Every structure is written in structure tokens, then in C-alpha cells.
Homo-oligomer: A and B are copies of this chain.
Amino acid sequence: MSVLIVGSIALDDIKTPLEEHKNLLGGSASYGAVAASFFSPVNLVGIVGEDFPKEHIALFKTRNIDLAGLQIVPGETFRWSGEYLWDLNTRETRSVALNVFEHFTPTLPENYKDTPIVLLANIAPDLQHHVLDQVRQPRFVIADTMDLWIAIAKPRLIELLARVHMLILNDSEARELTGETSLIKAGHKLRAMGPQYVAVKKGEHGCLLFGGDGQFFSCPAYPLEDIHDPTGAGDTFAGGLAGYLAQKAEGEVTFATLRQAVVFGSVLASYNVEKFSLERIKTVTQDEIASRHEIFRRISQL
């Protein structure tokens, strides 16, 4: 099965306490699509300017990502610049230039409209709605989001929750959106807002997955000594999860399949943070994924 992924495609400038890199491939759809491509065919929806480096297009093609939904238009690509503080847990946005993104209207190619699994990666809720409007009877729709949309587009985000099967967000966003300090309460409250499943990401502490009838899964994070760049970890997690679902969920999406999807999303995310941008994830092999999955299982066995 294929997965349709819509989100941002960006050129990032990123500074950590130890390193600084410019003009990196970034954006939620870039990370999500490459991560998903390890498990299933990907239909990418996004927009870039004519300045977008050919090597990044080549990377998407190497990963067999369908680019019929990628608009390449006059102007400059979306740019984001951020800096991580000493512990890499706190990030400050230095600048954002929407550029071609400002007038982006995602239009699905005809052959995308029946994609069974849809990942609405982190992007304005209006655009997520607009993509969803064009998909015919999707089997499973996942929405990711971020604090910015909770702050400036909360009503549209809440409308979206009623239209998706699964919501992915991080712990502070879950608390922000529900007003609950307990993540367990927040998870239940978010489910009551629409999505059958909710994944609350806790960064270095892993992820909580909530389903119906009290179904619950607590997944730790894969332990890493050296994290070089946390950018895109959440997007990679969402992409890996969606791709795994597309590969496995021939029938109905079950909680058991989703648990495994969370685990494989976590494995992909753990590789992602080992280098800047998509440098590590683009070279990862199926053997490496299988091997880290096995170690992950072993060190987490209760």
C-alpha cells in the first residue's frame, strides 16, 4: 500500500552548541517521505522554489518517492533557521521565510487521490484540510501538528481532529491543547476530540500511544549517547510510522500494528538525530533498521 504525505519542504540553517550548518534539506514532508520510503511507496505533496537544489530532488527519486505532487514554482524555497540550546532539548527559531509556501495550494494528482494511508505532516491545518478534501475514502489518516498551529490556528486544528484517525503531537503540545498536566489524562481527552488513536511524543523519553477501550502502549526512546541534530526527529517518527502502517495494514489498522509502527518510527527517528538534516537517514539500510529494532526490543523487555 502507498502512503500520501503532505508537509513542508525547506532549506534549513541549524546551529547546535557544537556545530552550525546552512542550506540543509529540511521540512516535515522531506523527513516524513524519506522515512516512510523504507517501508512503502510514497506520494509526496509539497512545494519548492526554482532554487531548490537538484541533489535533493535526486535523493527523493533515489528513495522511489513519487514527485507528481511536488510543485516547483518561480521564487525561493521555504527557509527556516533555528538554534538548539545546550541540552539540545530547547530550540529557538531564529528566522522563517515562507517564500513560495505563502501561496501554496496543494493539488493532488489524480493518481494520488486513492492513496489508502495519508500522513498530514506538520503544516498549517488549513492545508491539511485542503489535502484531506481531495482524498477519496482514505483508509487511515494521521495528522501531525506543532505548537505554532495550537497558538494561531486552534479552531481549524480542532476541526481537523474530527476528520483524522490518529493525532501525533509532543508532550507540551498535548498539555497545551487539553489544559491537562497529566499526559495520561491529556491522551484520553485528545481521543475524545476525534482521533481514535493519539501518540504523545516525549522526545528522549519515548512515546505514549492511546487507543480505544483503554488500549495503551508506552514506548521508550532508543538510547543514544550522541545526538547531533534533533531537527526532524518527530517528522521522521511520523513518516516511519505511516510507512510501516502502509506496508503492514492490509486489513484493518489494529492497535497491535500501530504499536509496531510506533516502534519502527522510533527506530528511524533514532537514526535521524545521529547526523544533521537527512544525512544519516538517507544512508540507513534495511539491515540497520532490523538490527536496531532487535536491540531496542531487547533493552526494553520488561
Q: Taking beta carbons and an 8 Å cutoff, which residues of A are in contact with B? A: 86-88, 181-185, 188, 202, 204-206, 208, 216-221, 223-227, 259, 263, 296-297, 299-302
Contacts and interface: CB of A to CB of B under 8 A. Distances in A.
Contact of A225 (B185, B220, B300): B185
Contacts of A221: 218
A263 B302 CA distance: 7
B300 A184 contact: no
A208 B188 CA distance: 27
Contacts of A205: 202, 205-206
Contact of A182 (B206, B217, B227, B300): B227
Given A217-B299, A217-B300, A259-B302, 5 more contacts: A218-B221, A218-B300, A219-B302, A297-B302, A300-B300
A17 to B, nearest CB: 9
Nearest to A216: B299
Chain copies in complex: 2
A179 to B, nearest CB: 12
A205 B205 CA distance: 6
A219 B220 CA distance: 7
Contacts of A206: 205, 218, 220
Contacts of A181: 86-88
15 contacts: A87-B181, A182-B224, A184-B224, A184-B225, A185-B225, A205-B206, A206-B218, A216-B223, A216-B299, A217-B299, A218-B220, A218-B221, A219-B220, A219-B302, A263-B302
A221 B184 CA distance: 12
A260 to B, nearest CB: 8
A221 B296 CA distance: 17
Contacts of A263: 302
A171 to B, nearest CB: 10
B302 A301 contact: yes
B202 A223 contact: no
A183 B204 CA distance: 10
Nearest to A175: B87
A283 to B, nearest CB: 23
Q: Which 9 A-B pairs have the closest CB atoms?
A: A205-B205, A218-B220, A87-B181, A297-B302, A184-B225, A300-B302, A216-B299, A184-B223, A263-B302
Q: Which of A185, A223, A226 has the most CB of B within 10 A?
A: A223
A227 B86 CA distance: 31
A206 B263 CA distance: 17
B225 A299 contact: no
A217 B217 CA distance: 17
Nearest to A206: B220
Nearest to A86: B181
A183 B88 CA distance: 13
